[in-house]
Amino acid sequence: MGTVAVQGLCKSFGKVQALDGVTLDVPDGSFFVVLGPSGAGKTTTLRAIAGLEKLDAGSVHLDGRDATGDTPAARDLAMVFQSYALYPRHTVYENIASPLRARRCSSSEIAAAVEQMSSLLHIERLLQRRPAQLSGGEMQRVALARALVRRPRAFLMDEPLTNLDLKLRVEMRTELTRIHRSLGATFVYVTNDQVEALSMADQVAVLKEGKVQQVGTPTEVYERPANQWVAGFVGSPPISLLACHAEGDRLVGAEGWTLPRPRWTTAEDGRALLLGLRAEDLSVEQRGSASLSGELYGLEPLGDRTVVDVRVGTQILKVKARPTVTGTPGERLLVTVDLDRAHLFDAGTGLSLSEAGR
């Protein structure tokens, strides 16, 4: 068992409201990612679950039992810190053994568990070193081993891959997913990296300024963002947002362009809207009925693809294109829009209007 449920978490640091009514439900055995920009309250949420933060309001339930007032030790959780927080005076062996020592395990049990963990994470040869003698990747593995050496209710991970270089980060992403699958344990994983969130998570909670914006599977969050902010935060290159309003069977842009009104939208005429277009739903190569006219603003070759920046009026559209695409800035071109995959948001509230009609 290992369910984590937090209800209405509120926490302020002086004048800063870090958490403003955060409610999350983490099912047993899931890889649950809390995603958000820095300062969104992700780490505070995790520390609240761990019992390291005194809450202004709200409750934490572990396995259905109210654990709001429990000490961190009593909660039976393990945590990987962003800074790793390895004890500097202790050897790697002692760092990994620490959770077992605290729980008064026998030294033979400890030796067996540490050995198993170190072989799982390939750190056997580091056991007698001290943290200062380790590289960043090695420290990360030791921190992970210290958490995994026990079988707690749930594992809490606070941006554990942020301090690694890109290659190692990609490797560890795969490895963490593998470990999660083999343990079948509950992971609550905090990150500001949407790639990590989308690639590893069963469920993603998107956090902004201490408020949950959306909870869903990675596909749901990407394909059906609940609001304009989530749409803009998740996805790379970021979604292009164009101001417009509906007029009969057409969408009329603030810049004067028109597009056929998507069948699924129920927005009344004249309401201020934002049309959200993801780069892969736009094309500069195909011809279609729905298209916008603009001029080439710039090319960003990324190897496997090229992002074409197209200026429509005063706004820049990001269009995903084949790496072979060429052009000179200033050149006129037509951008074909896949309106079935477009998103509409209320310009005032930012909420998605796409859900109703689909």
Q: Is residue 38 a contact residue for another protein (CB under 8 A)? A: no
> Which residues ranging from 277 to 336 are in contact with another protein (CB under 8 A)?
none
CB of 142 to another protein, least distance (A): 10
The nearer residue to another protein, 41 or 99, going by C-beta atoms, is 99
Distance CA 146, CA 307 (A): 42
Q: Which of 106, 108, 132, 332 binds another protein (CB under 8 A)?
A: 132
Tell me the number of residues near another protein by CB under 8 A.
Answer: 31
Q: Which of 4, 6, 60, 78 binds another protein (CB under 8 A)?
A: 78
CB of 38 to another protein, least distance (A): 15
Q: % helix / strand / coil in the chain, to the nearest 5?
A: 30, 35, 40
Q: Is residue 262 a contact residue for another protein (CB under 8 A)? A: no
Q: Which stretch binds another protein (CB under 8 A): 96-104, 237-245, 281-289, 306-314?
A: 96-104
What residues contact 182, with CB distance under 8 A and at least 6 apart? none
Distance CA 20, CA 3 (A): 22
Q: Which of 83, 116, 119, 349 binds another protein (CB under 8 A)?
A: 83
Cβ(179)–Cβ(160) under 8 Å?
no
Cβ(95)–Cβ(86) under 8 Å?
yes
Please report which residue ranges of the chain form alpha helices under DSSP H: 42-50, 72-75, 92-102, 107-120, 136-148, 166-183, 194-200, 218-223, 228-233
What residues contact 101, with CB distance under 8 A and at least 6 apart? 94, 110
Q: Is residue 106 a contact residue for another protein (CB under 8 A)? A: no
Q: Is residue 6 a contact residue for another protein (CB under 8 A)? A: no
User: What is the token pair recorded at 39?
Assistant: 């300062």
The β-bridge relationship of strands 306-312 and 291-301 is: antiparallel
CB of 291 to another protein, least distance (A): 49
The nearer residue to another protein, 51 or 210, going by C-beta atoms, is 51
What residues contact 252, with CB distance under 8 A and at least 6 apart? 244, 245, 246, 258
Cα-based torsion angle of the residue sequence 280, 281, 285, 291 in order, rounded to the nearest 10 degrees: -150
Q: Is residue 98 a contact residue for another protein (CB under 8 A)? A: yes
> Which residues ranging from 195 to 214 are in contact with another protein (CB under 8 A)?
none
CB of 27 to another protein, least distance (A): 22
Residue 72 falls in which region: left (phi positive, over 0), alpha (psi -120 to 50) or beta: alpha
The nearer residue to another protein, 65 or 89, going by C-beta atoms, is 89
By rule CB under 8 A, what string of x and - marks binding of each residue 153-182 to another protein?
Answer: ----------x-------------------
**Residues that bind another protein in the complex, under the rule CB under 8 A:** 47, 50-52, 54, 71-73, 77-79, 81, 83-89, 98-99, 101-103, 130-132, 136, 139, 146, 163
